[in-house]
Structure 1
Amino acid sequence: METTPGPLDAQEDHIGPQGHWGWIFLLAMFAVPTLVLVIGMYAANAPEPTTVAATPTSPRPTPAATTTSPSAPMVTVECDGHTARLPIGEKPDFSGIWNAESDYCDADRPAGVPLTDLEQKAFEKSGYDTSSSVQTLYAVCAQADPDGYYTSGAHRGSPEQAAEIRGALVLCPDHPFADELKATAEGGEEDAELEKGGRLFHSGTFLVGEEIQPGTYVVTGDIEDCYWERQDRNGGIIDNYFSASARRVEVTIQASDYAFSSDGCGEWRPA
């Protein structure tokens, strides 16, 4: 038996899409205010944002430029295993090397380094031909043997040695044997004057009055096989002498002699 749907059943059957939208509308009516309320409460209780002030940054200081100066050139002095390095451009200090008391030293100065004012003065005194030889003056200054040839004061240097000593004393005026060095130099300078004046001579034959001067002369030391003769204008012998061994030989050359000749005697100097 079929039943005819009543009004209520017909209503339920025809809710359709329009009925669902109604429910959605009702839900929205309640949900939206609730959501707004929750958001408002959260916003009210949220901490205020903190503002961090920017710290001004000062520029980093630029590091000062550092310049490394090259090391000063040195003169290397060696004496019997003792070594000293002396800066060029300063007054040389030989005090350390003097303790070695050496009679012979060697020095090496770098090539190409210009002479200082002090070295230039020493070079001019030395009589050297080339400026590079100034290193020898450092070696002379370093010598400090009490019995040394230059430093004992018992020898007369040659004219060349006298000039060398004078040049060295410009570099080291406070040398511990400065007085002895000066005496050696002075002897050489005196000999240079004697030789120039014809009053200092060695082996050979010399014209009297022109190449050598008349006077009394001596040679001293360990003399062996010494022979001398005074000659007239014709080469004849006026007087002569021979000694196989002697410590001192003397001769007087007359103004009337034409020439004087000697061999093996050594250095003749005024008596």
Structure 2
Amino acid sequence: MEALEQQARSTGVYTGQGAASLVNQACEKARTPDPENIGITAVESLDAYIEITRTGSSGEPARDLMPLYKLGFPILCPEQVSTLERVIRGDVPFGSGTFEIGAGPEQVKPGTYRTTRRSVEDCYWERTRADGEIIQNKLVTHAKRLTVTIKPTDGSFTSERCGTWEAVH
């Protein structure tokens, strides 16, 4: 832990105290997703935690700890490096809601996605243009699995009762 503290200071990645503690907290979020959110993946848990620390909460200043996590994960939780890499790439599963298309926080990256459930019932999804006009939509009463391709020119993607969508690689 002290080695990480020294390395963080010497590289300028994090000059304050408690670098190892900050990385440990992120490692724990990746190891043990929030038990109150049953079904949440390690990637979703870590992504949410990083977003909270990035934006700050209850009056705290925003801070980008990603360079510290990149430095510290291989040292303190090497088994979770792939989880961190997925978050960095934006390869984060998402569920119900309406999401703008893009690469920022709370956005869905263009690409092909599929549902993770063994079967889907009463699922509605739609792709829209930036002006809200529907490009494509479907109401699926039952399917084993669904696949949708979201294009870079799409404005948003809406999903209701479809479960979780994950990127297809």
Q: TM-score, normalised by structure 1?
A: 0.31
Greater relative contact order: 1 or 2 (C-alpha under 8 angstroms, separation 6 or more)? 2
Specify the structure having the higher radius of gyration (Cα): 1
